[in-house]
């Protein structure tokens, strides 16, 4: 138990940002709260819809509620030990620094590729000292061995990175969950490793 | 020349070539991408004018919607 106690004591002092509280962000948040993280900053502009329930960490009676507030309720049912800072709105160049500059690691969990591209560029140009853990390529099912982590300095990209068409290859709970857990696991790897990431 | 492309050594015949040419040769055709040359983000507009030289590190990341 000593090792786990040491890990929890260390994680209790850490802060992680999550940009987007959909399939990736909501599941990353639950894993980090269960791990004993001290502080989560979660930003999202969306509300819970019926279509989200097939893969996101929300419940049917939360339909219509802002995702950040519904997620707060769900996370606090797991544990009240993690401090939650919530922002109900879009992440923009005007507020990103205020939201995420206090974080030890930031998780990119947006839906659209254009948002992912903007955020990765913004983080690299403005908060390059903070590791960014992204998700790219989470649609489909099976062939889990195709999922990978691409590392580039302070940038970590989880997913298969394969082109898929939404109508033919939908987002399914198992793979979305797998990539979210890969992201959460990379966060632990970064927070629990003292050496600088390889460039 | 030999470069490190996505953490793997890749050898191309001849000397320096543009990022656009490397992407063409290695079939990186996605619309949304992050391209880092020696750790620095390179904008799309500069792909055709930025040279990759022997020993450089080039990272090309595909971005796909879904989150």
- Mean pLDDT, all residues of chain A: 95
pLDDT for B30 equals 84
Q: Which of A24, A38, A99 is nearest to A67 (CA)?
A: A24
pLDDT bucket at A168, cuts 50 / 70 / 90: confident
Q: What's the helix, strand, coil split of chain A in %, to 5?
A: 45, 20, 40
Angle between helices A23-35 and A173-192 (to 10 degrees): 50
Determine, for residues A113 and B32 on separate chains, whether the beta-carbon distance falls below 8 Å. yes
What ipTM is given for this predicted complex? Answer: 0.91
pLDDT for B29 equals 86
Give the β-pairing of A83-88 and A148-152: unpaired
Give the β-pairing of B51-52 and A15-19: unpaired
- Judged against a pLDDT cut of 90, whether residue A197 lies above it is answered with no
| Residues of chain B contacting A161 with CB distance shorter than 8 Å | 61-62, 64
- Judged against a pLDDT cut of 80, whether residue A196 lies above it is answered with no
pLDDT for A199 equals 43
CB A40 within 8 A of CB A128: no
Report the run of H or E that residue B62 belongs to, with start and end.
strand B57-62
Residues sharing a CB contact under 8 Å with residue B45, sequence separation 6 or more, in sequence order: none
pLDDT bucket at A166, cuts 50 / 70 / 90: confident
Half-sphere exposure (CA, 13 Å, Cβ side) for A145?
0
What is the percent of chain A where pLDDT is above 90? Answer: 93
pLDDT digits (tens, 9 = 90+) for A85-123: 999 999 999 999 999 999 999 999 999 999 999 999 999
Please tell me if residue A25 touches chain B, with a CB cutoff of 8 Å.
yes
Instruction: Return d(Cα B57, Cα A117) in angstroms, integer.
Output: 20
pLDDT for A194 equals 67
CB A28 within 8 A of CB A109: yes
Please tell me if residue A49 touches chain B, with a CB cutoff of 8 Å.
no
Highest mean pLDDT among A161-165, A195-199, B4-8: B4-8
| Residues of chain B contacting A155 with CB distance shorter than 8 Å | 34, 36, 59, 61
pLDDT digits (tens, 9 = 90+) for A174-188: 999 999 999 999 999
The domains located in chain A, with CATH, are 2-192 (3.40.50.720)
Q: Which residue has the tokens 């990119």?
A: A108
C-alpha distances in Å from residue A109, one per residue of A138, A142, A187, B47 = 11, 22, 13, 27
CB A36 within 8 A of CB A4: no
Q: Which residues 13-52 in chain B show a CB within 8 A of chain A?
A: 30-34, 36, 39, 41
| Residues of chain A contacting B61 with CB distance shorter than 8 Å | 120, 134, 136, 150, 152, 155, 157, 161
Q: Which residue has the tokens 């904008």?
A: B43
Q: Which of B1, B30, B37, B24 is nearest to A116 (CA)?
A: B30
Report the run of H or E that residue B21 belongs to, with start and end.
helix B19-25
Q: Which of A144, A166, A156 is nearest to A109 (CA)?
A: A156
Determine, for residues A159 and B64 on separate chains, whether the beta-carbon distance falls below 8 Å. yes
Nearest chain B CA: its distance from A18 CA (Å): 12
- Judged against a pLDDT cut of 70, whether residue A190 lies above it is answered with yes
| Domain extents in chain B | 2-62
The CA-based dihedral angle spanning residues A96, A98, A103, A107, taken in that order and rounded to the nearest 10 degrees: -20
pLDDT digits (tens, 9 = 90+) for B17-56: 999 999 999 999 888 999 999 999 999 999 999 999 999 9
Q: Which residues does residue A108 pair with via DSSP β-bridges, in sequence order?
A: A19
pLDDT digits (tens, 9 = 90+) for A113-148: 999 999 999 999 999 999 999 999 999 999 999 999
| Residues of chain A contacting B36 with CB distance shorter than 8 Å | 124, 152-153, 155
Q: Which two tokens stand for residue A185?
A: 């696991």
- Judged against a pLDDT cut of 70, whether residue A198 lies above it is answered with no
- Residue in chain B lying closest to A140 (CA): B66
pLDDT for A165 equals 81
What is the percent of chain A where pLDDT is above 70? Answer: 96
Determine, for residues A138 and B66 on separate chains, whether the beta-carbon distance falls below 8 Å. yes
Superfamily classification of domain B2-62: Beta-grasp domain (3.10.20.30)
- Phi/psi of residue A18, nearest 5 degrees: -130, 115
Instruction: Return d(Cα B56, Cα B31) in angstroms, integer.
Output: 24
Please tell me if residue A138 touches chain B, with a CB cutoff of 8 Å.
yes
Please tell me if residue A199 touches chain B, with a CB cutoff of 8 Å.
yes
Q: What's the rounded mean pLDDT across residues A38-53?
A: 98
- Judged against a pLDDT cut of 70, whether residue A4 lies above it is answered with yes
The CA R_g of chain A, rounded to the nearest whole Å, is: 16
pLDDT for A195 equals 58
């Amino acid at each position: 138990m000593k090792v786990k106690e040491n890990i929890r004591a260390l994680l209790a002092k850490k802060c992680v940002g999550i940009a987007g509280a959909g399939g990736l962000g909501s599941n990353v948040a639950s894993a980090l709260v269960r791990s004993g993280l001290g502080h989560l900053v979660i930003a999202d502009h969306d509300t819970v819809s019926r279509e989200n329930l097939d893969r996101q960490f929300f419940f049917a009676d939360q339909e219509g509620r802002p995702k950040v507030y519904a997620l707060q309720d769900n996370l606090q049912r797991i544990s009240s030990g993690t401090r939650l800072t919530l922002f109900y709105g879009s992440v923009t160049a005007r507020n990103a620094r205020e939201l995420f500059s206090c974080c030890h690691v930031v998780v990119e969990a947006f839906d659209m590729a254009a948002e992912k591209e903007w955020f990765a560029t913004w983080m690299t140009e403005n908060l390059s000292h903070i590791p960014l853990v992204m998700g790219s390529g989470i649609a489909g099912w099976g062939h889990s061995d195709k999922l990978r982590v691409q590392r580039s300095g302070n940038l970590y990209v989880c997913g298969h990175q394969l082109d898929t068409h939404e109508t033919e290859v939908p987002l399914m709970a198992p793979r979305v969950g797998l990539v979210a857990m890969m992201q959460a696991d990379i966060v632990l790897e970064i927070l629990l490793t003292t050496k600088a990431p390889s460039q | 020349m030999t470069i490190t492309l996505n953490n793997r050594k890749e050898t191309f015949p001849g000397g320096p070539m543009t990022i656009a040419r490397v992407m063409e040769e290695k079939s990186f055709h996605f619309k949304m991408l992050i391209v880092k040359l020696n750790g620095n983000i390179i904008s799309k507009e500069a792909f055709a004018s930025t040279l990759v030289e022997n020993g450089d590190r080039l990272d090309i990341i595909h971005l796909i919607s879904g989150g």
